[in-house]
Amino acid sequence: MWDTKRQIIWLVVGISFGTFIVYKDAHDETGRFDRGVFAFWEIILLAIILTLFYLYSRKKT
């Protein structure tokens, strides 16, 4: 089980770093930003982070 401080740090860093990577990848060949691609990958990123957060935060009995 994680303590609260560690949970907050991992969530903030994971979402921030992941969003930065997704933002860089959401540009097409001409350099234009594609909001649809960004939204799609951001949803995937958040789903992965939330799934891992749930799995690691469960209490082991």
The predicted-structure confidence for 5-38, as pLDDT tens digits, reads as follows 888 888 899 999 999 999 999 998 999 999 999 9
Please name the residue that has the structure tokens 């930065």: 20
End-to-end distance of the chain based on CA atoms, in angstroms? 11
Q: Which of 45, 53, 47 is nearest to 20 (CA)?
A: 45
- Residue from 46, 37, 39 nearest 18 by CA: 46
pLDDT category at 57 given cuts 50, 70, 90 is: confident
Whether this prediction's pTM lies above 0.85 is answered by no
Alpha helices in 1-61 (DSSP H): 4-25, 35-57
User: In which band, very low, low, confident or very high, does the pLDDT at 2 lie, cut at 50, 70 and 90?
Assistant: low
Question: Average pLDDT, stretch 52-59?
Answer: 81
pLDDT of residue 30: 93
